Structures are given as structure tokens and as C-alpha cells.
Amino acid sequence: MVGLSKFLPLVLVNVQTVTVLLKKIPFSTWALGFLALLIYQALDTGLNNFLEILFRSPNGTPNWVWFVAAISVLINVLFPVAISFWLLSSLKTHRNWSEDFQQLFIETLRVWGQILLFTLAFLIPGLWKWISSIFVPYVVLFSKKYQTGHADALRASREIFKKVWFQSASVLIIFSLVIPYFITTSLDQYREIWVHPVGALIIGLVDYISLLISLFFLMHLFIKTSREVKNELIF
């Protein structure tokens, strides 16, 4: 109950702030982001079904199945990064598309490398690396210290996370674990847009709304914490 009493006032007080952030994004940006999410889900579902067919083949699994698996992994890294970048960078007045995306992709690979390394060694440290790295995109895109070479994105993300760990972990658990788990276990068969177009669109919309809420709630926490420690931000 103590944790809930800390989390609910934060949500209620800051809904207006998050709404203001959301209103800054043009409709065209919303639409293209949603289209990218639908394409990502269609590719991911199709590749997963294809991999399942290959692994269950009565003639044995072909050697090139790992190439398909590698493409699937790349899509699952690239698309979420690209969609998040597209939405968050729309808040910036002066955008440097190629440089910002390149830096974000590099830092994301660093994050996944550390997660993989620590997960292979110990599960709990791997989970900690994943959770404490959720502010990396915000540091890369909006931190002046990072963009002038005076801050490390992973370390800065961990420092921010420590200050708002409960709120951040709550957002992550709800929107990255609970909601996706419910959709996967109950509605995953409707993700195939070529079989269930209406169902796939509805699930995609739910996923998109969850993504937006989590992205901009974390954005608010990032701005709030950065201002408290007097870190200059670039918009």
C-alpha cells in the first residue's frame, strides 16, 4: 500500500504534463509511427511463424535457419529503436536525424551487449542492466552533456533511474511486461494482419498507446530529474 500511495499521486499530478508532451507531436508523426509499428508486428509475426515451420520441418532444420533468426533479432532491435527515436525526436526543434539515430543505435547495442553479458553470468544483474538503461534514449537525444561528450549514456541513465527507480520500474513492469504478456497469452493469434486485419489493427493500436504512454511518462521523469540536478537539456 505504501508503494501504491507513492505511485498514484505521481500519475494523477503529472497526467497533464505528459498530455502537453503528447500534444507537441504532429498528427503525421503519430500516423507514421503507427504504420511503422504495424509493419514491425507483421514482419515479426511472419518471421516467427516461418522459423517455427523450419524448426518443425520433417526433413530437418536447414542450416540457413540461423540467418532468418538473425534477421528476426535485428528487426526486434532496429524497429523499436527507430519508432522511439521517431516519436521522441519530434519534440526537438533542431533535429539531426542521421547523427542522433546513429548515436542512439550505438548506445542501444551497448545496452544489449551488457544485458547479454550479465544475463549469461547472472540473471538478476542482467535484469538490473535492462531496467536501469531505460533512460538511454532520452540522454542521447536531449542531454547537452552527452552531446558535447561530457557524459556516458549508460551511466547517466543509471543515475537518473536511481532517483526515480520506483516510478520507472512501475512504468516498465506495466507497459513492457504486464500488458504485452496479457496480449501475447490471450490475443496473439490475432496479430496476423493478413488473416485477422481488424484484430491486428486493434492490437497494434493498444500496443501503440501503451508505447506512447510509457515513452512520455519516462520523458517527464527524465525532464523532472534532470532539472533537479541542473543538467541542461536540448530541445
**DSSP for 135-197?**
THHHHHHHBHHHHTT-S-HHHHHHHHHHHTHHHHHHHHIIIIIIHHHHHHHHHGGG--TTT-H
> pLDDT tier at 20 (50, 70, 90 boundaries)?
low
Nearest to 215 by CA among 120, 135, 153, 125: 135
Residue 113 pLDDT exceeds 80: no
The residue-averaged pLDDT of 75-100 equals 82
Percentage of residues in the chain having pLDDT higher than 70: 84
How many angstroms separate the first and last alpha carbons of the chain?
37
Nearest to 169 by CA among 98, 96, 218: 218
Q: Could you tell me the three cell numbers for 134?
A: 531505460
- Give the pLDDT score at 29: 87
Neighbours of 200 (CB within 10 A): 20
| Crossing angle of helices 65-89 and 27-55, rounded to 10° | 170
The residue-averaged pLDDT of 11-37 equals 73
Nearest to 222 by CA among 21, 3, 16: 21
Q: Could you tell me the three cell numbers for 24?
A: 507537441
pLDDT in tens, 173-195: 888 888 888 887 887 777 788 88
The residue-averaged pLDDT of 78-87 equals 87
The reported pTM is: 0.81
Q: How far apart are CA 145 and CA 153, in angstroms?
A: 10
Residue 35 pLDDT exceeds 90: yes
Q: How far apart are CA 74 and CA 69, in angstroms?
A: 9
Contact yes or no for 141/203 (Cβ under 8 A): no
Burial of residue 99 (number of CB atoms within 10 Å: 0-12, 13-18, 19+): exposed
